[in-house]
Amino acid sequence: MSILDELLAARARAANKYQLSKHQEQPTVKEEKREQEKVSKNNDSYWSFFRQETTSSVIECAHPQHGRCLQCSGRMLLHTKLEKCFKLRDMLSQNMYLSKCETKDISTMHEYVSHCCGLYHYCFESSQSQEFEANKKKVNELIDITRKADPKSLQITNQPKSSLQYGEVLFYSCAHMVFDLLMLSSSKLFSEHMTFIDLGSGIGKSLLAVSLLFPNFRKCIGIEIVRKLHEIACNSTKVWSDSLKLQDILASKVELINGNFFDETLIISKLFGSDHQTTVSTVVFIASTAFSASTMTKLNDMLLQLLDDNFQCINYVGVITLSHPLPDKQRFKILKTDSYRMSWGNVSVFFQQYQPQLLK
């Protein structure tokens, strides 16, 4: 059974559970326990990588798990039965896994997101075969790779070396950030075919999370300058495609590029294609914590220039940056700021939307 089949089966089980609960014929606790035991027996199966979301998945606090502080109180998790979740469910139900599912049960969405989380961690942490070795690289090893990178050979004279510092987005934080941005922006602005682009994509963690969770992102593009990180991302994608039979998600959607995000020609071709015929809706993600003020200004100016030059092709552009917003707050309007947990701790996340010059 391929992983995709298993995801589909999980969806069917969730729908079934909902039907059963409607008729008060819930499976007995014993049956549920037996099912869970079966699952956890195979330690290296992707089932064992499930992580149910808790507050600490999205925000790091000093107090114990059940405590609350100003930072975490009122925080919504993807499985709480709140209005937000119903909106999320509606968004998710547009995707190919849930489209055939008739139930409107929130647990379906919750189970789906947990499955994607399990698959994500399985891809990056499984020790199943030698091929997966590269996927198991720990953050510290990856930081070492960026520390050893030589800015001269990378030809990044306009950026301090510290801006190469590696760090990664966590699965649930990534899911929330993209959900939040989409919910803050009017749904009319979205087209069926959206693009997600990660400027400085590391080993591609955001790309896997987004491509699994949001099938209406037609393309998930990552641009990474450090060749070794790019190679790890390519190797991982190949292994997931081949071994986990995720070709339809990954091979056709995820595009990894070893290049400089200040290469305007590259960015234009990825954002607008070669024909400039279709209008685009794009989410740009920049894990910018280690970027200097001057790097942020250069990114701001480059993005503005190329978006203004092609504004007739733009339906919507949302930008997520970490720790600093893009400096031009009129043209990149801040919709919201929130704190989310990354591999290096809690970080302020800025949700911004590009304002075409005509509306200024």
Ligand X SMILES: C[S@@+](CC[C@H](N)C(=O)[O-])C[C@H]1O[C@@H](n2cnc3c(N)ncnc32)[C@H](O)[C@@H]1O
Interacting residues toward ligand X by CB under 6 A: 146, 156, 159, 163-164, 166-169, 198, 200-202, 205-206, 223-226, 229, 260-262, 287
Nearer to ligand X, 225 or 256 (CB): 225
Q: How far is the CB of 65 from ligand X (least distance, A)?
A: 25
> Tokens at residue 87, please?
């909106």
CA 245, CA 3: separation in Å to the nearest integer? 7
The dihedrals phi and psi of 204, each to the nearest 5 degrees, come to 85, 25
Taking a C-beta distance cutoff of 8 angstroms, is the pair 324, 288 a contact? yes
Q: Beta 314-322 vs 280-286: how paired, if at all?
A: parallel
- Biggest CA pair distance of the chain: 67
C-alpha distances out from residue 98 to 10, 83, 177, Å: 11, 19, 21
Nearer to ligand X, 285 or 354 (CB): 285
Q: How many CA atoms lie within 13 A of 106 on its CB side?
A: 12
Comparing CA positions, the residue from 57, 292, 43, 11 lying closest to residue 174 is 57
Q: How far is the CB of 255 from ligand X (least distance, A)?
A: 14
Q: How far is the CB of 263 from ligand X (least distance, A)?
A: 8
Q: How far is the CB of 200 from ligand X (least distance, A)?
A: 2
Q: Which residues, 6 or more positions from 207, have their beta carbon under 8 angstroms from its beta carbon?
A: 196, 198, 201, 220, 221, 222, 233, 254, 256
Nearer to ligand X, 14 or 220 (CB): 220
Nearer to ligand X, 268 or 313 (CB): 268
Nearer to ligand X, 101 or 145 (CB): 145
Q: How far is the CB of 262 from ligand X (least distance, A)?
A: 5
Nearer to ligand X, 10 or 287 (CB): 287
C-alpha distances out from residue 49 to 224, 235, 290, Å: 27, 20, 30
Q: How far is the CB of 313 from ligand X (least distance, A)?
A: 23
In 117-156, which positions are buried (b, 16+ CB within 10 angstroms) versus exposed (e)?
bbbbbbbbbbeeeeebebbebeeeebbebbeebeeeeeeb
| Residue showing the smallest CB distance to ligand X in the complex | 200
Q: How far is the CB of 229 from ligand X (least distance, A)?
A: 5
Nearer to ligand X, 108 or 146 (CB): 146
